[in-house]
Structure 1
Amino acid sequence: MPVPAFLHAVGTACPPHDVHQDFLAYAPALLASERERALFARMAERSGIAHRFSPLTAAEGFYVPGAFPSTAARMRRYAAESLPLALAALAELGRKLGRDWREGVTHLILVSCTGFEAPGLDQRLIAAAGLDPRLERTVVGFMGCNAAFHALKLARHIVRSEPASRVLVLNLELCTLHFQETASLEQALCFMLFADGCSAALVGAEPRGLELERFRQETLPDGEDLITWRIGDDGFDMRLSGQVPGAILRHLPAHLRALDAPGAALWAIHPGGRSILDAVQLALELPEAAMAPSRAVLHDHGNMSSATVMFVLARLLAAAGQGRRGVALGFGPGVGVESLAFREAG
């Protein structure tokens, strides 16, 4: 039988500037009517978000009314900001694993859907972090908020086929580089959710942390246009429909039954927004305690796309017990639903 694979630890990092209040002050000026401005304020108050972080500041002039940056300018900023953020997450991972954590790392999986460059962050990170330049590299790109599941799934496959492997999984997103100048209330509310962050995780066969037991993925019917992420001339264009919570509510119970994870005591739900968390809680009849880690990450960081569920798993690892079972859930373009059944190492 293949050996089991374990998520040993997760280090997390965010850029230095909390921009949430600045955005709440700025966005209403883009809206056309007093009614829309009042609705935006009401939704912001109910969002469950208090902080969102970015490398940008309101004073630096990256976003100038009437002259927002091109996609090329945003990619240049991505290249400048991604490596320092990745190194900060690796430093936090090192504090959790010890100074010798780099020894024996065989693979790097880089996940990002908010920037492109070549040579890429994966190559620059290997050199800057003192990793073995011969390790195997894989990039998981442009898969959206549930991309962390694809990376963990791949890491599990690697460890199960090559038990001596130690796989570094890095999720890095700079969503605030893609703010658009828009008069659309729906888009303004979408931009209010997204933020920047990075996670660095290590997966291996040593039995500690969380065992990655089973994965399941499904594309919901008639959901192709509900979550989209496309490259435009003025940055990447995100659409997050208000119909997403309803789709989750209808289809999630059957998806979870197919995952076959009875008795889950731990829940790591991607905090795509308060309405999405509410829909998951209602669909699965979960107690508020089960939602607490995901709601806390949403409150403290907003939606950092693919990195967000890793921040939730980091909180669960910090309070790990003995042998409890859990489920992680994520939602992305399509609408794609990704799930993971896991168990604490006992």
Structure 2
Amino acid sequence: MASSSLAEIRRSERADGPAAVLAIGTANPPNCVSQEDFPDYYFRVTKSEHLTHLKQKLKTMCQMTDTEKRFFHHTEELLHAHPHFLDRGQPSLDDRLGIAAAAAPELAASAAAKAIAKWGRPATDVTHLILSTSSCAGAPGADLRLASLLGLRPSVIRTMLQLNGCAAGSASLRLAKDIAENNRGARVLVACVELTIVAFRGPEEDYPHTLVGQASFGDGAGAVIVGADPVPVERPLFEIVSASQTVVPGTDHVLTMRLTEAGLDGHILKRELVPIGAENIERCLADAFGQLGVAVDVEWNDLFWAVHPGLRAILDNIDRALRLEPGKLAASRTVLREYGNMMGATVIFVLDEQRRRMEEDGEGGEWGVMMGFGPGFTIETMVLHATTNLKKNE
């Protein structure tokens, strides 16, 4: 074939416009525990009430999170049936992954079904599926089960992202943007689901970071439909203008994850972790907007924000670093308060809360930023443009 023909083929394969968020759905398991009650609940179910000094430490941690409640797939009955989950010294990975393999696709399907219903097109119109989770490991995996539950076509193109931690939601949307813009007519279903059963264990004297995770993380699933060149039935919400990733050198030790015989494990060095995002955020933002040729003209307070709220202190530091006006990170703080940290799914909840504030409450802002943070230490930065569909309902 002539080179000119190849160029024409390539142009025909690409979308004309930018990828956009077309619909969002979220879901949580039914078991809800208030943050105030969590220390008593945790030390009761782990049979550790004699460790009074650790219980007081957990109470203090829970009070500092600004979280009011969290949702969990696991119940007291499930934990009582698997006492080996509480002890790091006992192998439990197979049983944990078995529970997650059954439950995670179901929860992801609940969120995805909501997104598809809002999208307004049949599930069979989904061309690509991205499933991100740190809770499952196996093949055929949770992505295939999710596709079956939703009734997606056998030809749907599936991609799994695993162990991306809290950056997974932003990373999945970055990948979805590339797929949608380089495959004309593509409609990408992004689903992020996390279950803390893979990491639940009892308090440990030698592993103080265990309490940080137990005080912070909850279960949830978020789903987004992404596509370019919308058809009349579709209602774009946010156009994804750019997406980038930065790794902060010398920080790969502050947040780690790995699958072990005792389940999902890792380190959260909170004192080192908290300031990293704030110390590097302006550089990431300047780079992101600089690529668009508008860096010098951007006032951070003119933007809307969808930031992964890993810890309250991270948000506080970002507020100070960017000199943000009160309420600019309200969507992130609301999700942290109502759900806790659901790792990769959290930023989808934040984006949906920001949508609600703009669509229902009339909150303004044409340009905005989504940010995710994860192991590495990795910062995902996405520039968003709000469409005219995000107007207060009259």
- TM normalised by structure 2 equals 0.81
SS at match of 1:326: strand
State how far apart, in whole Å, the 2-side matches of 1:256 and 1:94 are.
Answer: 32
- Correspondence for 1:87: 109
Q: Deviations over 1:186-238 (max 9, x none)?
A: 32122211111111110011271100001121111221100000111100103
- Correspondence for 1:24: 39
Are residue 41 (structure 1) and residue 59 (structure 2) matched? Answer: yes
Are residue 298 (structure 1) and residue 313 (structure 2) matched? Answer: no
Please list, as runs of the form range in 1=range in 2, the aligned pairs for 1:53-202 lying within 5 A after superposition.
53-60=71-78, 61-62=80-81, 64=83, 66=87, 70-98=92-120, 100-181=121-202, 182-183=204-205, 184-202=207-225
SS at match of 2:155: coil
- Correspondence for 2:4: none
Structure 2 counterpart of 1:287, one-letter code? E
State how far apart, in whole Å, the 2-side matches of 1:57 and 1:202 are.
Answer: 31
Moved more, 262-271 or 105-114: 262-271
State how far apart, in whole Å, the 1-side matches of 2:186 and 2:114 are.
Answer: 21
State how far apart, in whole Å, the 2-side matches of 1:180 and 1:35 are.
Answer: 17
Q: Deviations over 1:60-89 (max 9, x none)?
A: 315525586601110000012112212211
- Correspondence for 2:227: 204
Q: CA deviation at 1:112?
A: 0.8
State how far apart, in whole Å, the 2-side matches of 1:128 and 1:190 are.
Answer: 31
Q: CA deviation at 1:42?
A: 2.2
Structure 2 contact 126–156 (Cα < 8 Å) conserved: yes
Are residue 216 (structure 1) and residue 270 (structure 2) matched? Answer: no
Compared CA separation, residues 290 and 138, structure 1 to 2 (3 A): same
Unpaired segments ≥5 residues, structure 2? 1-14, 290-294, 389-394
State how far apart, in whole Å, the 1-side matches of 2:81 and 2:332 are.
Answer: 31
Larger radius of gyration: 2
Are residue 342 (structure 1) and residue 384 (structure 2) matched? Answer: yes
Aligned residues: 345
Q: Deviations over 1:245-297 (max 9, x none)?
A: 12223222222211116244210010101111112212212223111110110
Structure having the higher strand fraction is 1
State how far apart, in whole Å, the 1-side matches of 2:371 and 2:323 are.
Answer: 15
Structure 2 contact 191–222 (Cα < 8 Å) conserved: yes
Q: CA deviation at 1:320?
A: 3.5
State how far apart, in whole Å, the 2-side matches of 1:159 and 1:47 are.
Answer: 37
State how far apart, in whole Å, the 2-side matches of 1:25 and 1:69 are.
Answer: 26
Moved more, 61-70 or 199-208: 61-70
Structure 1 counterpart of 2:61, one-letter code? M
- Correspondence for 1:328: 370
Structure 2 counterpart of 1:50, one-letter code? E
The alignment's C-alpha RMSD in Å is 2.3
SS at match of 2:76: coil
Q: Deviations over 1:4-38 (max 9, x none)?
A: 11011110001110135554214467598755543
Structure 1 counterpart of 2:267, one-letter code? R
State how far apart, in whole Å, the 1-side matches of 2:30 and 2:214 are.
Answer: 19
Q: CA deviation at 1:155?
A: 1.2
Q: CA deviation at 1:120?
A: 1.0
Please list, as runs of the form range in 1=range in 2, the aligned pairs for 1:233-252 lying within 5 A after superposition.
233-242=261-270, 243-252=272-281
Structure 1 contact 215–341 (Cα < 8 Å) conserved: yes
- Correspondence for 2:259: 231
SS at match of 1:192: helix
Q: Deviations over 1:279-321 (max 9, x none)?
A: 2212212223111110110111111110000000111223336
Compared CA separation, residues 145 and 59, structure 1 to 2 (3 A): same
Structure 2 counterpart of 1:222, one-letter code? G
Structure 1 contact 2–161 (Cα < 8 Å) conserved: no
Structure 2 contact 39–55 (Cα < 8 Å) conserved: no
Compared CA separation, residues 33 and 24, structure 1 to 2 (3 A): closer
Structure 2 contact 100–197 (Cα < 8 Å) conserved: no
Compared CA separation, residues 35 and 76, structure 1 to 2 (3 A): closer
Moved more, 74-83 or 207-216: 207-216
State how far apart, in whole Å, the 2-side matches of 1:339 and 1:204 are.
Answer: 19
Structure 2 counterpart of 1:163, one-letter code? R
- Correspondence for 1:14: 28
